[in-house]
Amino acid sequence: MIPVETLAVFLDTARGRIDEALERYLPVPPECPEIVGQAMRYSLFAGGKRLRPILTLAAADAVARNDRTPASTAQVPAMDAALPAACAVELIHTYSLIHDDLPAMDNDTLRRGRPTLHVVYGDGIAILAGDGLQADAFALLAREPAGDDPVIVTRKLRAMQAIADAAGSTGMVGGQAIDLQAAGRAPGHAVALDADGVRAMHARKTGALIRAAAVSGAIMAGAPDDTIRAVNDYATDLGLAFQIVDDILDVEGKTGELGKTPGKDAAGAKPTYPALFGLERSRGLANACAARARQTLAAAGLSRGWLGDIAEWVVSRRS
């Protein structure tokens, strides 16, 4: 059983810390034009689970608690060192949602319980706001934590590469392109995806940034390579579980709980786990992913902390 109240306290505390840091890090007028600043904030502070940045902080915390982690020479506490990376991941995630909602992509009009950005500000400003969030994310990764400590600088570069790989053509962008092809919304013939193809698509579109979120937290906390690999393996299963549950909620969820329009996948003829396996089998696959994720943590000595409870939270969520 999840220690619900304890986990809830951690999640609320982490969200508050992330939101405060996002307010501090995001450019404001006159640094940027007022309309761009407003549009970025409209989507960034529309609510949401903050799963990805929470994973970054939770991974850093788990590494710091792990007796196998070498003593660090860096002068920045693990979660403080990971906070800018956590915020950068959320900036990138929000940019991806803005662009995914556009008419040329998924054409969604509701996100996090309110009209999507392009509905309010128009397609052009929505595109620019997404572009701004992505660029600002990498500026933040390069800038923070500030200072010339060579240990922290090396970790920042490594975390930046992990996040960039996840966001780019080999990760999230590539996954979205496959999604468009599978839905028959890209030039040429539609791509028919079997179970392996759907898994590979989701590993890019959703899983890559979830993996990078966790891995960047481990990197910034000074984890050795074998621990970073374990965190990556954990997050691989977590990301798949998250996407399977998302597919299930698109079938079963309600607009008031989801904050977005359910049934879009079926209406768009998208390949999903429920479409391939049915709801009950899909639930079993998600639970199996969460179990493997917890086993990976145990084998790596990462059971102390919140990563295991987050895996259970992911498969039990209703929104």
Please provide the DSSP assignment of 221-232 as one string: TT--HHHHHHHH
C-alpha pair distances (Å), 296 with each of 227, 238, 291, 301, 308? 10, 11, 9, 9, 10
pLDDT tens-digit readout, 15-54? 999 999 999 999 999 999 999 999 999 999 998 899 999 9
Amino acid found at 294: R
Give the pLDDT band (50/70/90) at residue 257.
low
Q: Which two tokens stand for residue 110?
A: 């509701």
Task: For residue 107, give the DSSP letter.
Answer: -
pLDDT class of 67 with cuts at 50, 70, 90: confident
- Which one of 3.40.190.10, 2.60.40.2470, 1.10.3260.10, 1.10.600.10 gives the CATH number of domain 4-224? 1.10.600.10
**The model's pTM:** 0.92
What band does 69 get if pLDDT is binned at 50, 70 and 90?
confident
Please state, in angstroms and rounded to a whole number, the distance separating the CA atoms of residues 278 and 265.
14
Burial class (CB in 10 A: 0-12, 13-18, 19+), 275: middle
Reported as a single tens digit per residue, the pLDDT across 195-223 is: 999 999 999 999 999 999 999 999 999 99
What pLDDT is recorded for position 4? Answer: 46
Provide the pLDDT confidence category of residue 70 given band limits of 50, 70 and 90. confident
CA pair distance 119, 282, nearest whole angstrom: 33
